[in-house]
Structure 1
Amino acid sequence: MTQTELPLGTYLFYRLSQVTKTVFGVPGDFNLNLLEHIYNFNEAEIKWCGNCNELNAGYAADGYSRLNQFGCFITTFGVGELSALNAVAGSFAENAPVLHIVGTSSTSAKTNSTFNHIHHLIPSKKTYEASDHGVYERLVEPFSIRTEILSGKSLGKIQEQIDSLIEDIVCHMKPGYLFIPSDLPDIIIPVDLTKSLDFDLCRILQVNEKNTKFVVDNTLRKLYGAKNPAIIVDQFMKFDGKEVNEFLRKTKFYCYSTNSSRGIVDETLPNFHGVFNGRISTEGTLQIFDENDFVLYLGANINETNFFGGESSILKDKDCILVGKDYAQLGFGGDLMYDVNCHVFFKQLICGVDFSLLPQIRIRTQTARYNADYGVLKEDSHLSQKSFSTIVSSFIKDNDVIINEMCSFMFEMPNIRYKKNCSFVGQPFYGSIGYGIPATLGASLAIKDLKMQGRAILFQGDGSAQMTLQEFASFIRFEIDPVVFLLNNDGYGVERVIKGPNRTYNNIAVKWDWTNLLSVFGDFDHSKSFSLKATTAGELMEALASGIDFKDGKVKILEVILGRMDVPDRFKKIAGVAEKENNT
């Protein structure tokens, strides 16, 4: 082992520079000593992206992680970290690998028994009792795959604490916490710079080799015996897209994505047949799915919005094997086999498969219909969810990164077939409105850092935009150039359809002047942005066809005027179920 010594803060950013090029966050007096150390590196190695608030910083780190496999943000003690809790909960629910670093009270303040009532810390219920400096650290346990609290008493362990935390976050695809007292960043610690990060899934996830082999052998037996097998690719395979698509091209097996896994499967494959989501699958998908006599559900992420219908799922009567992040199930509702990981499973599957024993699949001439049944566009007609869906289908290009806010259009997106190498960023399950704008900042910076070719395209509802719209200022500040479709249906359209269509609680604060908004956030002379409003299909089609230069480096805000009660048919089906549940 080759040891050297470095300030703790410098080592942290050295290690972070190996997994990210951008760190998000908000400064505060408890993290300032730490932030100084990022300037020991040039911006090509790692850089700071300051956000408008901590919630936005968490969303931005989440958006960045969807493309980079890791995101990071820094907040301050109490007021900062608590503001970000919702973002971290969303990352946990949506399986986003994000590190939240918190600058906390100093080691001396934690141990001072006579006076430890410091700012940002909630006092004890008994005013004469000492304050509990660990109260926030305990609070995050349900939101975190792992929490590390650094201490000046164990300097020799700090490198291992930092390294193993990063490894766990990446392998588990879940957020983690690192708490650093404000007086520790400058302290010198021993480090071994020859040691590399080790993302060994079998070790970190404690994969059961025996169970994995059993499931692989059973899956191969099923595949060899099937006439027309299928693969549903779900969220936990999101970093295995290259290998998955190579297998699908070679086998020609029918394949499907899910709400959460868009962009993993190459949707231009002739054997791709839509978005599987139970009774609200892409139009035509279930009819095709009926032809499959065996289903491998790979990377399974079973939840309400990804697997509509739950126990009444059509998988109940299918011969199927489900393999998730940490389990496998032989048959829907069958016995669980624990500590089987889909990535490890798939790697062993493709190593062990005898392609000569697999069934020969003929490419099906017809696939899912998506939005093909929406009819001919009338250019002078007012825009609707359906006409907008048709127009957007032609607008999306290869390599685009599609960010979808939790708005009504989230439920139309399955009807739009992605082009080659497209990526998806969104929260279809956790559904925290306001996620989209800061997540677009994160995704756009990841596109820059990773030198990706595609555009960032955000579909943003007007109601949800109110939550986090101040982050538009960061679009200008950091010179990103996303395309923002601002879907203006004059309020909370999703909620109106569920209940209270005419209630004031579904109205938004004001009628925002969306096309002039960026002049408030730094683009005073309109040199860094372009905005327009479209009311008819013809206006939007003309703008997208010839009226906008999408390579000029400017932010584009395209305000799309929709009807107040206009929501996708898929959501109408869901809302019917929701209304019944609300009344029982």
Structure 2
Amino acid sequence: MRMQIGTFLARRLTEAGIRHLFGVPGDFNLSFLEQIREANGIEFVGNCNELNAAYASDGYARTSGIAALVTTFGVGDLGAIGGIAGAYAENVPVVHITGTPPLHAVNSRALVHHTLVDGDYDNIGRCMSEFTVAQARITPANAVSEIDRVLRACWLERRPVHLQLPSDVTHVTVEVPDSPLVLADPASDPEQLSNAAQRIVEALATAHFPAIVVDADAMRFGVTDIVQKLAEKCSIPCASLAPAKSALDETSKHYVGTYAGAASAESVRSIVENADCLIGVGLRFTDTSSALFSQHINPETFIDLRRHDLSIGTTQMPGVTLRDVLARVLDEAQPVVRERATQAPTVASDALPAGSSDAPLTHAMLWPRIRRFLKPGDVVLGEAGTSHASLSSMKLPAGATYIAQPIWGAIGYTLPALFGSLVGASSRRHLLFIGDGSFQLTAQELSSILRRDLKPVIFLLNNAGYTIERLILGEHSAYNDVANWRYAGLPHAFDRRERALSLVVETVADLEAALNRAESAEHLVFIELKLPMMDAPESLKKFADIFADFDYGECGPRNPPKVTALKTSPSGRHVAGETA
């Protein structure tokens, strides 16, 4: 079979499960976008800029499995690179396609626009190679092999890849295979798998206090269902790191909460750190997920399951994949009933804090009401700062998905990520919680949400700037200020069709009325929450203190140097005196 190269790439994207292609048009990718327009099963979705396109792709992949975006060479690539780097840090599979100048210009080193006019056409690829696991420049000679190789690498590592598609080769025909692209994880080595599973089963059988801790790879590699079945079969308490929020059913009697080292609830910390058989699933102890590396894991009783290998104590075992080993352990482990593991976890009280209905809104009044507002199956997005600090400690309903970026931590990420997730999973209710400072970085993407008549509920936390930064340093410093927009008016500025409900909340009564109206709204709901500038969840205040000490040290600006008094000697000279 012969097929145009761009058409073949579109076919491979759909075979990988990608139904939408995010991005921004540019002259070097227009020929490919024409082919996308004619392709079956995939649609181009325009964004306001390339960074937002990368964030939207990231959000799409988190609820749809894998995503793709298209940019133009140079300016488009570097505009998207921050979002691509975030997907790399957070283990999110994204296919980045860039339309490059025509191959004849590349080969002749022509000085064309969107380049540095130095004839170097490899510099952008070198930049992107730092944040992707596979790269290729497509030519008629390598199109079939390189497209398949790069797409498989994206799935294998669950990280971004980069494809350069010259504008003059998109419509060149090449021989292509009839067989569809198959994205599958490699099979484990049978002997290694059998040995590893046997040792894990034996460790569980002799353990009195086993536990499981999962990280984001449990979601990326699709093993959360196996983990939950294993926990039920063997009565094993389970915890998650912050990046794996919502990976497990948080209403399960086996789910104990989030483990964050010294910042964990004491009940969670005790279960994890005192386990005599601790199974980790894809764990990465970062500063934010471990409260500055305060985890205490016994290496002798730790079974560390990684994406393509594992270790049991100090024994390293390559060639064993997450799904294979967990499935084998689930099959071979004997059912166990442990009283401690089957005790129902403590359920947060559904009672609302006492307070006058006309009292100004505070975080203490806000989040208990949000907890009641959540429903099973919701997609909840929490922006870095006060929103994530509150939501990450809140028990989510069954089937809910939580999206945040706790490792890369780019502010403004969640609004375009909301757009991406909505495009891929429009049948699910989406709730976004974002601060005013973060919102201003990517606010344009609200227009994309309105353009497609998508219907999220957006909570804009207006606390007059960067509260999390004020807590760390510069409470009254101008660098933490942002302009005070008329936020609730933006949905009407971005869409002339008046298909949004905009509300401003200043009191508890306003909030309750807004939540009631949101329940029955037929279009996008935008709720501006006016909160005191320095009001924040207690967990965030503690976080800020800890990180300020880590970032700035004892001599930092939060700890000004002590003043040393000067004494005058009999000769009239100044000498050092006591510390004031």
Q: What is the TM-score of this pair, normalised by structure 1?
A: 0.89
Query: SS where residue 494 of structure 2 aligns?
Result: coil
Query: SS where residue 315 of structure 1 aligns?
Result: coil
Please give the per-residue CA displacement for 1:421-442, whole angstroms capped at 9, x wherever unaligned.
1112110110001111110000
Partner of 2:484: 511
The answer to whether the aligner puts 1:255 opposite 2:245 as a matched pair is: no
Q: 1:105 to 1:397 in 2, by over 3 A?
A: same
Q: 2:517 aligns with which of 532, 536, 547?
A: 547
The answer to whether the aligner puts 1:140 opposite 2:128 as a matched pair is: yes
Please give the per-residue CA displacement for 1:261-287, whole angstroms capped at 9, x wherever unaligned.
122211111121111111222574324
Q: 2:94 aligns with which of 98, 108, 117?
A: 98
The answer to whether the aligner puts 1:405 opposite 2:376 as a matched pair is: no
Separation in 1, partners of 2:61, 2:432: 16
Query: SS where residue 140 of structure 1 aligns?
Result: helix
Query: SS where residue 31 of structure 2 aligns?
Result: helix
Q: Give the AA of the match of 2:34.
A: E
Partner of 1:582: 551
The answer to whether the aligner puts 1:534 opposite 2:505 as a matched pair is: yes
Q: 1:201 aligns with which of 185, 197, 200?
A: 185
Partner of 1:127: none
Q: 2:12 aligns with which of 12, 15, 31?
A: 15
Q: Which runs of 5+ in 1 are unaligned?
A: 125-130
Q: 1:397 to 1:60 in 2, by over 3 A?
A: same
Separation in 1, partners of 2:350, 2:265: 11
Separation in 1, partners of 2:54, 2:277: 40
1:337 is displaced (CA, Å) by 4.6
Partner of 1:469: 443
Query: SS where residue 75 of structure 1 aligns?
Result: strand
Partner of 1:128: none
**Rg larger in structure:** 2
1:365 is displaced (CA, Å) by 4.0
Query: SS where residue 165 of structure 2 aligns?
Result: strand
The answer to whether the aligner puts 1:121 opposite 2:90 as a matched pair is: no
Partner of 2:416: 438
Superposed, which structure 2 residues align to 1:226-375 within 5 Å? 226-238=207-219, 239-282=222-265, 284-289=267-272, 292-310=275-293, 312-316=294-298, 319-331=301-313, 334=314, 337-338=317-318, 340-351=320-331, 353-356=332-335, 358=336, 360-361=338-339, 364-365=342-343, 367-368=345-346, 375=353
Separation in 1, partners of 2:532, 2:366: 12
Partner of 1:36: 34
The answer to whether the aligner puts 1:490 opposite 2:464 as a matched pair is: yes
1:324 is displaced (CA, Å) by 2.1
Structure 1 residues 321-330 or 469-478, which shifts more?
321-330
1:491 is displaced (CA, Å) by 0.1
Query: SS where residue 28 of structure 2 aligns?
Result: coil
The answer to whether the aligner puts 1:149 opposite 2:144 as a matched pair is: no
Query: SS where residue 425 of structure 2 aligns?
Result: helix
Partner of 1:223: 204
Separation in 1, partners of 2:350, 2:542: 19
Q: 1:25 aligns with which of 23, 26, 46?
A: 23
Query: SS where residue 169 of structure 1 aligns?
Result: helix
Q: Give the AA of the match of 2:114.
A: H
Partner of 1:427: 405
2:377–2:398 Cα contact (<8 Å) kept: yes
Q: Give the AA of the match of 2:548.
A: E
Q: Give the AA of the match of 2:394.
A: I
Separation in 2, partners of 1:326, 1:371: 41
1:360 is displaced (CA, Å) by 3.8
Query: SS where residue 439 of structure 1 aligns?
Result: helix
1:327 is displaced (CA, Å) by 4.2
Separation in 2, partners of 1:298, 1:6: 42
Separation in 1, partners of 2:279, 2:446: 42
2:514–2:527 Cα contact (<8 Å) kept: no
Structure 1 residues 50-59 or 322-331, which shifts more?
322-331
Partner of 1:572: 541
Kindly tell me the number of residue pairs found equivalent between the two proteins: 550
Separation in 1, partners of 2:349, 2:476: 30
Please give the per-residue CA displacement for 1:332-376, whole angstroms capped at 9, x wherever unaligned.
xx565555432332123223x2324x4544555452565779844
Q: 1:103 to 1:212 in 2, by over 3 A?
A: same
1:232–1:256 Cα contact (<8 Å) kept: yes
Q: Give the AA of the match of 2:113.
A: H
Query: SS where residue 260 of structure 2 aligns?
Result: coil
Partner of 1:166: 151
Separation in 2, partners of 1:242, 1:46: 29
1:282–1:415 Cα contact (<8 Å) kept: no
Q: 1:268 to 1:413 in 2, by over 3 A?
A: same
Separation in 1, partners of 2:476, 2:176: 63
1:21–1:47 Cα contact (<8 Å) kept: yes
Q: Give the AA of the match of 2:367.
A: S
1:22–1:48 Cα contact (<8 Å) kept: yes
Q: Which runs of 5+ in 2 are unaligned?
A: 554-580
Q: What is the TM-score of this pair, normalised by structure 2?
A: 0.90
Query: SS where residue 121 of structure 1 aligns?
Result: coil
Q: 1:53 to 1:214 in 2, by over 3 A?
A: same
Partner of 1:108: 104
Please give the per-residue CA displacement for 1:284-306, whole angstroms capped at 9, x wherever unaligned.
43245466432211121322222
Partner of 1:189: 174
1:252 is displaced (CA, Å) by 2.8
Q: Give the AA of the match of 2:49.
A: N
1:232 is displaced (CA, Å) by 1.2
Separation in 2, partners of 1:376, 1:212: 56
